[in-house]
């Protein structure tokens, strides 16, 4: 085993959930759209008639049309219209059960009708000036202009209602059938209008498993620095969607290839270390992508709010960045071997800095950095076994991230050597078994000292202050070392500790 705790065999090649998918047939696409329109017709036709009667056009657009062709059903519907927001709001009131205008500044009015969530946006055009982080929004005059300002051809299709007339001025149906992302016009113009679309290209590649057209990739590469005008929050949101997509390797590889990653997550391309001449350490970048994919296979272990197997950003992102401390800590030894001592601690600090810059919440930052800091802890377990005290400390230090730490540690094994992989699996199985046994016996999840603060003050005859905190820490260490103790034993240990402190 290498000094950093990872197997030194070559990394397993990328798994292939994102292998090229056969093109869709036009007949299949048309059948899917027809079926989806029948499902949502009760809402879209009625709404279309309402707008038509008021002298306005209404068109189902974007993701709902694209997803209908892909057979992905949803209850979130996006429309564009010739009506301005005030008129849209009037038409929705009395028809929808709830109406909101949080997006009014961008020409969008939202509502809820039964199980449907609907957003209706006035025809518009928007663009970023050279140094602005916010788009300038202006209303458009027709559907073709509105579709032309959209990011990709597969999102630039529409169905006019109530007549259910299909509109595809930029060939989106053909691109969708061939699973390729193109822009309605020149990609340079599209990305100049909204640089975030470069990240959206990577995100859609990850979500849909689509290829990105060569001219789009070229424009992303040439214009990568334009992403700097986009707010950290918007970049963060796209990154989260990408990492939580079915094929994140596709999107991440595109970000690295085009140079966008160097601007939004520079620690990722930095993992492309030059391999030493003897090839004695892993390709850290490929290893990290593989760990990410293997963590996805283990997500079903988490009790996710939306059910087992729901994408979990925290564990996925921790898997992606768990080794980002390696470039800073790499050392070559005289025998040609490579070490990355303390890359776990260094990596945790780098994670905090990057996630803070991307405006992640404190809770998310704490969770990911804790996982990165602890991801090597397990490897000491197989070197001779741990005492019950060491197991308790592992649980205590992991805290509420214990289940994610189980996933990350298991996913971090990418050796091709089946014997070694099986040994690591069995060893971690044994650690989890011991954690389970101790948890059942000692309520590890609620681990506390055997005496509380009030009891400490009464026994020692002291008031609130630093000494009470120190005594609490001492008793918690006792709990770690010896397990639960009866009050008399805990009190005797506390008195002995106090007497020693008093000299």
- Check whether residue 391 and residue 473 sit in a common domain: no
Q: What is the CA radius of gyration of the chain?
A: 28
For residues 49 and 216, give the distance between their C-alpha atoms in angstroms, rounded to a whole number: 39
Question: For residue 194, what are the CA distances in angstroms to 64, 149, 187, 225, 226?
Answer: 21, 10, 11, 13, 9
Alpha helix segments (H runs only) across 54-171: 63-70, 85-92, 143-148
- Which CATH number is 71's domain given? 3.30.460.10
Tell me the whole-structure pTM to 2 decimals.
0.80
Question: For residue 45, what are the CA distances in angstroms to 51, 60, 163, 286?
Answer: 10, 10, 8, 49
- Check whether residue 417 and residue 490 sit in a common domain: no
- Check whether residue 157 and residue 296 sit in a common domain: no
Q: At what angle do helices 26-53 and 63-70 cross, to 10 degrees?
A: 150
Domain span at residue 367 reads 283-304+315-446
- Check whether residue 293 and residue 367 sit in a common domain: yes
For residues 276 and 337, give the distance between their C-alpha atoms in angstroms, rounded to a whole number: 8
- Check whether residue 440 and residue 462 sit in a common domain: no
- Check whether residue 362 and residue 419 sit in a common domain: yes
Among the candidates 158, 178, 198, a domain finishes at 178
- Check whether residue 319 and residue 386 sit in a common domain: yes
For residues 467 and 315, give the distance between their C-alpha atoms in angstroms, rounded to a whole number: 38
How many structural domains compose the chain?
3
In this structure, is residue 192 part of a structural domain? Answer: no
Per-residue pLDDT of the chain (503 residues; tens, 9 = 90+): 343 433 333 333 333 345 556 677 777 777 888 888 888 988 999 999 999 999 999 999 998 899 888 888 788 999 999 999 999 999 999 999 999 999 998 899 999 999 999 999 999 866 556 666 566 667 888 999 999 989 999 999 999 999 999 999 999 999 998 999 999 999 999 999 899 999 999 999 999 999 999 999 999 999 999 999 999 999 999 999 999 999 999 999 999 999 999 999 999 999 997 554 444 455 899 999 999 999 999 999 887 666 666 899 999 999 999 999 999 988 888 877 888 888 999 999 999 999 999 999 999 999 999 999 999 988 877 666 788 888 888 888 898 999 999 999 999 988 888 888 888 888 889 899 888 888 776 555 556 777 888 888 888 888 888 888 888 888 888 877 777 788 888 888 888 888 888 86
Other CB atoms within a 10 A radius of the CB of residue 20 amount to 10
Instruction: Report residue 135 as tokens.
Output: 């788009």
In this structure, is residue 275 part of a structural domain? Answer: no
For residues 166 and 32, give the distance between their C-alpha atoms in angstroms, rounded to a whole number: 13
Task: Give the per-residue pLDDT at 268.
Answer: 96
Among the candidates 178, 207, 236, a domain finishes at 178
Beta bridge partners of 61: 158
For residues 467 and 477, give the distance between their C-alpha atoms in angstroms, rounded to a whole number: 15
For residues 358 and 350, give the distance between their C-alpha atoms in angstroms, rounded to a whole number: 12
Task: Give the per-residue pLDDT at 274.
Answer: 58
Q: Is 85 exposed, middle or buried (0-12, 13-18, 19+ CB in 10 A)?
A: buried
Asked if 372 contacts 351 with a C-beta cutoff of 8 angstroms, the reply is yes
């Amino acid at each position: 085993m290498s000094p950093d705790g990872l197997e030194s065999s070559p990394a397993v090649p990328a798994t292939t959930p994102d292998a090229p998918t056969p093109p869709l047939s036009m007949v299949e696409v048309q059948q899917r759209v027809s079926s989806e329109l029948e499902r949502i017709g009760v809402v879209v036709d009625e709404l279309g008639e309402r707008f038509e009667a008021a002298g306005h056009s209404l068109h189902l657009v974007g993701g709902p049309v694209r997803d209908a062709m892909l057979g992905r059903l949803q209850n979130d519907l996006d429309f564009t219209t010739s009506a301005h927001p005030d008129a849209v709001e009037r038409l929705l009131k009395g028809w929808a059960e709830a109406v909101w205008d949080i997006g009014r500044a961008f020409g969008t009015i939202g509502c809820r009708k039964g199980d449907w969530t609907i957003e209706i946006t006035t025809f518009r055009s928007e663009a970023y000036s050279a140094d602005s982080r916010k788009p300038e929004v202006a209303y458009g005059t027709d559907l073709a202009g509105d579709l032309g300002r959209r990011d990709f051809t597969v999102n630039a299709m529409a169905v006019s209602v109530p007549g259910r007339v299909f509109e595809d001025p930029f060939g989106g149906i053909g691109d969708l059938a061939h699973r390729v992302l193109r822009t309605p016009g020149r990609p340079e113009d599209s990305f100049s209008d909204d640089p975030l679309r470069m990240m959206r290209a990577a995100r859609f590649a990850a979500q849909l498993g689509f290829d990105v057209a060569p001219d789009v990739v070229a424009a992303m590469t040439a214009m990568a620095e334009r992403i700097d005008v986009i707010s950290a929050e918007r970049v963060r949101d796209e990154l989260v969607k990408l990492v939580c997509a079915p094929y994140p390797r596709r999107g991440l590889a595109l970000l690295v290839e085009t140079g966008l990653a160097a601007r939004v997550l520079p620690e990722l391309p930095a993992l492309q270390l030059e391999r030493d001449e003897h090839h004695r350490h892993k390709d850290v970048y490929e290893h990290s992508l593989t760990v990410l994919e293997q963590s996805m296979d283990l997500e079903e272990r988490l009790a996710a709010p939306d059910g087992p197997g729901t994408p979990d950003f925290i564990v996925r992102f921790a898997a992606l960045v768990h080794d980002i401390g390696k470039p800073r800590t790499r050392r070559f030894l005289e025998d040609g071997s490579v070490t990355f001592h303390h890359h776990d601690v260094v990596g945790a600090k780098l994670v905090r800095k990057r996630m803070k810059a991307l405006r992640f919440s404190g809770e998310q930052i704490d969770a990911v950095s804790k996982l990165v800091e602890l991801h090597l802890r397990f490897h000491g377990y197989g070197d001779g076994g741990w005492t019950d005290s060491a197991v308790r400390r592992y649980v205590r230090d992991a805290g509420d991230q214990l289940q994610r730490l189980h996933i990350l540690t298991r996913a971090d094994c990418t050796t091709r050597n089946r014997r070694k992989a099986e040994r690591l699996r069995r060893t971690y199985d044994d650690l989890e078994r011991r954690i389970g046994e101790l948890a059942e016996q000692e309520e590890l999840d609620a681990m506390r000292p055997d005496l509380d603060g009030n009891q400490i003050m009464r026994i020692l005859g002291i008031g609130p202050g630093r000494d009470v905190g120190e005594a609490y820490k001492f008793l918690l260490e006792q709990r770690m070392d010896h397990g639960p103790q009866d009050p008399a034993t805990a009190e005797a240990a506390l008195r002995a500790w106090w007497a020693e402190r008093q000299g």
